[in-house]
Structure 1
Amino acid sequence: MAADGTQPEADLAQPRADWTQSGSEFWAPQRNPVETSFAMQPTVYADENFFAAEQERLFGRGWVGVALTSEVAQPGRLLVRSIGGRSILLTRSEAGVRGFLNSCRHRGTELAEADCDIANTIRCPYHRWHYSADGQLVAAPLFDTVPRDDFDMADYGLIRVRTQTWGPVVFACLCEDTPPLGEWLGDLPQRMAAYRFDTWQPAGIEGASCTFDVAANWKLLAENFAEYYHLAWVHPELAKVSRVADHYRYQGPGMYCGQTTTPVSGDERDDWLKLPPAAGLDDSDAASGRFLALFPNVTLAVLPSHMFVMMLEPLSAGRTLEHCTFLFPPGPMTAGEPSAELRELFEITRRFWIEVNDEDIDICERAQRGISAGGAPPGPLAPRFEEPLNRFHKMTADLMTLPCVADLPVPAGDRPGSVDLYGGEPNPLPPAAERDAST
């Protein structure tokens, strides 16, 4: 920061050492509390060299959302995903979801190009080495023709990739030093336990899944989801059901940013309230919308009747795929074929979400153009509305600079009540996790 309190001019060619060295001045503005913090440098969003370093140090060491559990619910299904620049396979066996590098142990051939059914056997297309869904080598054709004394099939199973699930999401991690997913998520599983996400499913209905190709950096999309400063101007219709005055933070300890709308309003627009709600929710969950950005690449918008899940797949510094899916609690939307009435109600909900997402895509692409072609120095964050961004920026800085990710500091949670709200009123229906913490 300059002596006059302003940020230095933006530089799109920062040396790599500045991005990855612990204690680097590059990240100093993000280390401050939100009331003295600034947005991140244009380099972070627009430089392809930074993107490459980020793939290695952030996506290569974090717990990254790679699939929905419903996509690999049955044995015999094989998924192909990319994480940190590496291609991985996901399978399900009796032992659960398993992840492997997409590379044969013979001569490294790619085992699969796209999602497919495998009848529980993964076959290399080159020399037909066979692997079980657990990754064990079960056949190496013709190796018994001239036996090798040093060859034992038990030594040549597929290379494992750590996988764990929570709720509807399968996470993968390439780094053995990264703390377990339970530590990464912090209090989120307990905070969201009443929803019983393991029972939520997609519906066999047109439009329930879609993918968008966005000309913006993945972090701009995650940041946009995490803050509500833009709400009134970018989403005037959304602001009728998710009013700025009804927003509160929803953050315990964990690698996530959260906010809640309490209550979700239906007096001007009731698009979010059309579908039948989940059973067994308490007064806070039944009246609220929970909006969670799971670091780095998963966002969950949870309403009493449905969930809009988005997984971000970074392709380059300025291009991201959004994989979006609607999930529903046990009930008429998932118990067989939805009725014509339910399909009509879902279409109202779906159309509203897509309209909102289109508005977000448009503003994020505009932000990307401004950052890439304009590159103005970063400005200050708004304390009440952009505190989750300060939290997101700190997590980014930590993953980029920590020599060993085993030392990762998981962010602490907000304190109950109004003390952290920077001018907002206390939540009139605090979630159970915050009521419990205040007693």
Structure 2
Amino acid sequence: MPPTVGAPWRLPGFWADIRPQVWSALGPPPAVYADEAFFADEQTRLFGRAWTGVALTDELSRSGRLLVRTVAGKSVLLTRSGDRLRGFMNTCRHRGTELAEADCDIAGTIRCPYHRWSYSTDGRLVAAPLFEASPPSDFDPADWRLVPVRVDTWGPIVFVCLDEETPPLDVWLGDLPERMAAYRLDEWRLANLEGAAATFEVAANWKLLVENFAEYYHLPWVHPKLAKVSRVRDHYRYQGPGMYCGQTTTPVSSDQHEDWVVLPPATGLGASDAASGRFVAVFPNVLLAVLPNHVFLILLEPVEVGRTVEHCTFLFPPGAAPSPEDDQGRQRLAEAFETTRRFWVDVNDEDIDICERVQRGVSRAGAPPGPMAPRFEEPLNRFHNMTADLMTLESVANLEAPGGDRPGDVDLYGTKPNPMPPPIEVEAALRGA
């Protein structure tokens, strides 16, 4: 359903109740999760202008690989040209034919299946068969490159942005790369283990999945097993300036369940990173759970207003995987990974079930939203405000990312100070920020 020109969610008044700080804010109206016209407009105004996570760098680690992804309802090609990643709209410059249907291998050339126009991996038109017989006037192949799309990476994630006005990815991420620098996430890899990547279809709006990931109010009732290793009393917010929100569990407990500690940990981590689980939602669609010994990554793909695909991947730190010749080592790693994998699948199943139930509630009943719980749901208020900004701004050229929590216990709304704050927050406290 196409949105009307006067769509209410493009106006500041629609978001008035979510704009206050968390102790006096409400959640968004039900239409944000259940209205087809909102979803259609959101594809253009939010996903059409955001840096959206679409793939893993591992998927493009070798030349000759071509990926097909959907961003804001548009088909995009991703490939590698030399040392550089490239992105293009998935359409031939001759008569608009779709160039590729799905991920595939190419021999250095992107060919249109219709009239065989061919492009290099940097987008140049290198062949237009039979045009030399009767070329159009002033025809210059240099004028007919593939339409480029902005591509950038952070850690193991490939991001795409369709809007030239959107600030660069490093501005979008804010202090997150510095905050998580000690993990060296760009060195983490997908292990060749059964179940290390999986896809789930969820009958819920994508924003409900982000919100569920970003708050820990629901842990005791929805995740009784998880709450034993990620205890509510050990949660603190984990967010500086940038287009993200999140929380940390410090410390990650292993006294009742060892599911999270059976894999070999990364080396070189400081005391806080080595003892914590970081749970970060990079706006809009990247959910990143970083433990000392593994990463559980979810890329959300909104398909319909009430349907989302989760692309889930486990990543492992450098040196975690034994050599191909070490059969015993691989067997031990596979057994340890299966324990962790099963734990996460169970947790994710619980999250899917409750998010689908929320979707049914906002779709079938749609009661006005209630208040946020300041101690547990401040990241949601931050996420709601980022959503409102993208939906109301006519230009994102001067988009302002939300500021960060102040160090110490000033902004924690009822909790004690984190006993092992991340180094970036310690440094900020020493500076008196």
> Cα offset for 1:94?
1.1
Query: Paired residue for 1:78, among 66, 73, 83?
Result: 66
Unaligned residue ranges in structure 1 (runs of 5+): 1-12
For 2:92, the equivalent position in structure 1 comes to 104
Q: What secondary structure is seen at the aligned counterpart in 1 of 2:9?
A: helix
Kindly tell me: are residues 289 and 334 of structure 1, through their superposed partners in 2, closer, same or farther at Cα, counting changes over 3 Å?
A: farther
The answer on 1:331 being equivalent to 2:305 is no
Q: Kindly, what percent of the aligned residue pairs are identical?
A: 68
For 1:17, the equivalent position in structure 2 comes to 7
**CA distance in structure 1 between the aligned counterparts of 2:229 and 2:309, rounded to whole angstroms:** 27
Counterpart residue identity of residue 257, structure 2 = R
> Cα offset for 1:332?
3.2
Query: Paired residue for 2:160, among 142, 147, 172?
Result: 172
For 1:433, the equivalent position in structure 2 comes to 424
Q: What secondary structure is seen at the aligned counterpart in 2 of 1:272?
A: coil
Kindly tell me: are residues 277 and 48 of structure 1, through their superposed partners in 2, closer, same or farther at Cα, counting changes over 3 Å?
A: same
The answer on 1:119 being equivalent to 2:110 is no
Query: Paired residue for 2:357, among 359, 366, 376?
Result: 366
Q: How does 1:145-294 map to 2 (within 5 A)?
A: 145-294=133-282
> Cα offset for 1:215?
0.1
For 1:354, the equivalent position in structure 2 comes to 345
For 1:10, the equivalent position in structure 2 comes to none
Q: How does 1:284-433 map to 2 (within 5 A)?
A: 284-333=272-321, 335-336=323-324, 339-433=330-424
**CA distance in structure 2 between the aligned counterparts of 1:48 and 1:73, rounded to whole angstroms:** 37
**CA distance in structure 1 between the aligned counterparts of 2:29 and 2:121, rounded to whole angstroms:** 44
**CA distance in structure 1 between the aligned counterparts of 2:5 and 2:145, rounded to whole angstroms:** 40
For 1:30, the equivalent position in structure 2 comes to 18
**CA distance in structure 1 between the aligned counterparts of 2:399 and 2:135, rounded to whole angstroms:** 48
> Cα offset for 1:339?
1.4
**CA distance in structure 1 between the aligned counterparts of 2:356 and 2:103, rounded to whole angstroms:** 29
**CA distance in structure 2 between the aligned counterparts of 1:117 and 1:14, rounded to whole angstroms:** 41
> Cα offset for 1:333?
2.0
For 1:7, the equivalent position in structure 2 comes to none
Q: What secondary structure is seen at the aligned counterpart in 1 of 2:75?
A: strand
**CA distance in structure 2 between the aligned counterparts of 1:15 and 1:369, rounded to whole angstroms:** 28
> Cα offset for 1:69?
0.6
> Cα offset for 1:120?
1.4
Counterpart residue identity of residue 377, structure 1 = P
Runs of 4+ in 1 over 6 A off after TM superposition: none
Kindly tell me: are residues 86 and 340 of structure 1, through their superposed partners in 2, closer, same or farther at Cα, counting changes over 3 Å?
A: same
Unaligned residue ranges in structure 2 (runs of 5+): none
**CA distance in structure 1 between the aligned counterparts of 2:414 and 2:190, rounded to whole angstroms:** 39
Give the TM-score taking structure 2 as reference length: 0.97
Give the TM-score taking structure 1 as reference length: 0.95
Q: Give the number of aligned pairs.
A: 425
Q: Deviations over 1:67-102 (max 9, x none)?
A: 111111111000000001110000011141110000
For 1:39, the equivalent position in structure 2 comes to 27
Q: Deviations over 1:203-259 (max 9, x none)?
A: 001000000000000000000000000011000000000000000010000000010
RMSD over equivalenced CA pairs, Å: 1.2
> Cα offset for 1:344?
0.5
**CA distance in structure 2 between the aligned counterparts of 1:165 and 1:233, rounded to whole angstroms:** 37
Q: What secondary structure is seen at the aligned counterpart in 1 of 2:132?
A: coil
Q: Is the 8 A contact 1:256 1:294 kept in 2?
A: yes
